[in-house]
Amino acid sequence: MGVKRWLDAWPVFRQLTGTDPLGRGKAAQSARSAGLGSRTESADRVAGSVCPYCAVGCAQRVFVKDEKVVQIEGDPASPISRGRLCPKGSASKQLVTGPQREQRVLYRPPYGTAWQELDLDTAMDMVADRVLDARRKGWQDTDEDGKVLRRTMGLASLGGATLDNEENYLIKKLFTALGALQIENQARI
């Protein structure tokens, strides 16, 4: 190691001779911190997204590395949000990557005292059977005056307002074809 390099590795020397006399920037950097980069720089790709909390519609940039979300930030290009996110929007990486996210289908049988795991495919079949059963039990062909109702009051749905338009569209379409009417949303609350 030459004298110059030896001296340059000494923070006090860099502080006295460099552009950082207060020693709060480059002068204080170690080899390790000098080598650190932001997660946004090393991401494999960035997806354009929108914050899922309130209805302002702040644009988000979702940074992905090794097929994992590594950071979510506001998008400065947005004419709506100009890059800003509120505390909730800023916490949305925790929302999508946190340990609270459930991974498996869970099932609680009637009168049961604990959750059981259930295979997704089996669960879908069970739900399909139950939908037809509830539909049948609540079916109404006509009202008391003989007017056509052609509906079931046996099943109901309540959706949150973070569903996509495309999802809401299929939900309404399928339930309507089943004759189910009580299809509701946070929008009425």
Residues 120 to 159: which contact other proteins by CB under 8 A? 120, 123-134, 137-139, 141, 143, 145, 147-159
Q: Is 1 in the site for other proteins (CB under 8 A)?
A: no
Structure tokens at 44: 């494999």
Q: Which of residues 58-77 bind other proteins (CB under 8 A)?
A: 58-59, 62, 64, 67-69, 72, 75, 77
Q: Which of residues 96-125 bind other proteins (CB under 8 A)?
A: 96, 98, 100-115, 118, 120, 123-125
Window of 5-13, 21-29, 32-40, 84-92 that interacts with other proteins by CB under 8 A: 84-92
Q: Which residues are CB-contacts of 138 (< 8 A; sequence separation ≥ 6)?
A: 152, 153, 154, 155
CB of 93 vs other proteins, minimal distance in Å:
9
- Would you call 85 helix, strand, or coil by DSSP? coil
Report the alpha-carbon distance of residue 49 to residue 72 in Å, rounded: 9
H/E element holding 42?
helix 39-42
CB of 40 vs other proteins, minimal distance in Å:
13
Contact 178, 151 (CB under 8 A): no
Pairing type for strands 68-74 and 59-65 reads antiparallel
CB of 4 vs other proteins, minimal distance in Å:
44
Q: Is 26 in the site for other proteins (CB under 8 A)?
A: no
∠ CA 84-88-92, rounded to 5°: 90
CB of 37 vs other proteins, minimal distance in Å:
20
Best CA proximity match to 21, nearest among 13, 29, 31, 30? 13
DSSP 184: E
Window of 7-15, 16-24, 30-38, 94-102 that interacts with other proteins by CB under 8 A: 94-102
Q: Which is nearer to other proteins, 23 or 138 (CB)?
A: 138
Q: Is 39 in the site for other proteins (CB under 8 A)?
A: no
Q: Which is nearer to other proteins, 35 or 98 (CB)?
A: 98
